A and B are shown apart, each in its own frame.
Chain A
Amino acid sequence: MSEYQQFLAERDQIDFLIQKGFQISQVKEHLDGATVEFVHPKENITETLLIGNANARKYFSSLLIKQKQRRNG
């Protein structure tokens, strides 16, 4: 799979959870990329994604900043 296809696949996984109302609650970075934890604020469910692709890691980081800005503001 090309890097771009990998990006699309991981971005879809992230978007899927966000569209269902999940929010990023925690990010752990490690040698294999980042483990991103999502929680659903109402239903108290947690989901975890392993994001390895560099652009996908930029993508969830941008979403996290946006989420923080929305919360603050």
Chain B
Amino acid sequence: MADLRINLAGIKSPNPFWLASAPPTNSGYQVQRAFEAGWGGAVWKTLGDPILNVTSRFAAIHFNGRRVAGFNNIELITDRPLDVNLKEIYETKKKFPNHAVIASLMVEPKQEKWHEIVKRVEDVGVDGLELNFGCPHGMAERGMGSASGQVPALVEKQTYWVKEVAKTPVIVKLTPNITDITATAEAAANGGADAISMINTINSLMGVDLDTWNTIPHVAGKGAHGGYCGPAVKPIALNMVAECARHPNINVPISGIGGISNWQDAVEFMLMGATGVQVCTAAMHHGFRIVEDMIEGLDHYLDSKGIAAVSDIIGKSVPKYSDWGDLDLNYNIVARINTEVCINCNKCHIACEDTSHQCIERLTDGSGKSYLKVREEDCVGCNLCSIVCPVEGAIDMIEVPRELAPMTWNERQAALNAAVECQADVTK
């Protein structure tokens, strides 16, 4: 069995699977049951001045038979008094000393407010703090959550205030509702953050009811934007983690969050630079016991690759993630249709003919049977045919032997500019 332990900025846990701050971590009862099921850590439902919630709170998008492809909520932070939560955190930590218990915090952007909550929370023995600068609804209207998380100066200042008094590691949880998340990630690092976590939820409106014209969800006929999460947000979250991981000025560990539903997702986040992961929607959809498959799958994966410790995979794909200008313009792949596997549904032909490069032909063989064939010289290797193909293995994307040496856009532009300069020299 591989070593699944992680150490995120000094916060140790028996495996990389933590529950994210959300309904699954609302109480001691839940967090203790989660630890019994196998979760390595839990970020407690955000603590702060207890709020009032509305009902209903959630909505989901089901896509093509898959339940909960995307999930949306208009719930706020904890509605329970701080002392109730602290008592349960204390008991949980006493029962599970080797599991990571992190307190998520959100208060007004005032130094004394941060000092007060940090001191009270650390007194009960948490392993770390997570500053919630991400909640996009409700709290943001009061100047907290993503409202302060979208302003790099406020992120830096508030992190700094926390670090003035914090004795445990401080994770800053970032909002994705910003054009460039590295701006706030860098601000957090400058403020002294020991780690960053991302993503919180994305501003969203799930839909409008065609009969009542109400928003989905609605509260007595009125709606407000919510926060989007679940499998649909994974690519957005993964990119944000990767952008932070490869940024030269962001040198703190990352806790990856957003659409993680299984061990494969977790491995992807870790390869792209996350030290560990946090999960919310998948646990809400399937219950705490999904962690059993996550642990088992991760363990088998590492064993099959001969990797002794999960920490060895952290960031291994980061050097492979670059800017578009550094990609090789002379690398070519083409589609090849395996006629024995192809069911002749014609989806690839239609997709290519209508919306790509018109290079899949419908031909007839000697016995009058029709088949599909790619005119490889006109194929640009866009992948669309293999994406729309309903049959696994019917279309392969094949690497074409190279005719020209690798050349990136940046190299090309440098050569073109040098030619112009050279010409200028000659005419001088």
Q: Residues on A close to B: CB < 8 A?
A: 2-4, 24-27, 29, 37, 58-59, 61-62, 64-66, 68
Give the Cβ gap from B389 to chain A, nearest Cβ, in Å.
Answer: 23
Closest to B378 in A: A4
* Cβ contact of A59, chosen from B404, B411, B416, B426, cutoff 8 A: B404
Q: Residues on B close to A: CB < 8 A?
A: 329-330, 357, 375, 377-378, 404-405, 407, 411-412, 415-416, 418-420, 422-423, 426
Beyond A4-B375, A65-B407, 17 additional pairs, beta carbon < 8 A: A2-B377, A2-B378, A3-B357, A25-B419, A25-B426, A26-B420, A29-B416, A58-B404, A58-B412, A62-B330, A62-B404, A62-B405, A64-B416, A64-B419, A65-B405, A66-B405, A68-B418
Is B415 a contact of A65 with CB atoms below 8 Å? yes
Is A3 a contact of B415 with CB atoms below 8 Å? no
14 example contacts (A-B, Cβ-Cβ < 8 A) are as follows: A2-B378, A25-B422, A25-B423, A26-B423, A37-B423, A61-B407, A61-B412, A62-B330, A64-B419, A65-B407, A65-B411, A66-B405, A68-B418, A68-B419
Interface majority SS (helix, strand, loop, mixed), chain B: helix
A23–B105 Cα distance when bound, in Å, is 65
Give the Cβ gap from B280 to chain A, nearest Cβ, in Å.
Answer: 44
A65–B409 Cα distance when bound, in Å, is 12
Is B407 a contact of A58 with CB atoms below 8 Å? yes
Interfacial chain A residues near B330, Cβ < 8 Å = 58, 62
Is A27 a contact of B378 with CB atoms below 8 Å? no
Is B378 a contact of A58 with CB atoms below 8 Å? no
Interfacial chain B residues near A3, Cβ < 8 Å = 357, 378
Is A64 a contact of B420 with CB atoms below 8 Å? no
Give the Cβ gap from B402 to chain A, nearest Cβ, in Å.
Answer: 11
Nearest first, the 8 closest Cβ-Cβ pairs linking A and B are A4-B377, A62-B404, A61-B412, A26-B423, A65-B415, A64-B415, A27-B416, A4-B378
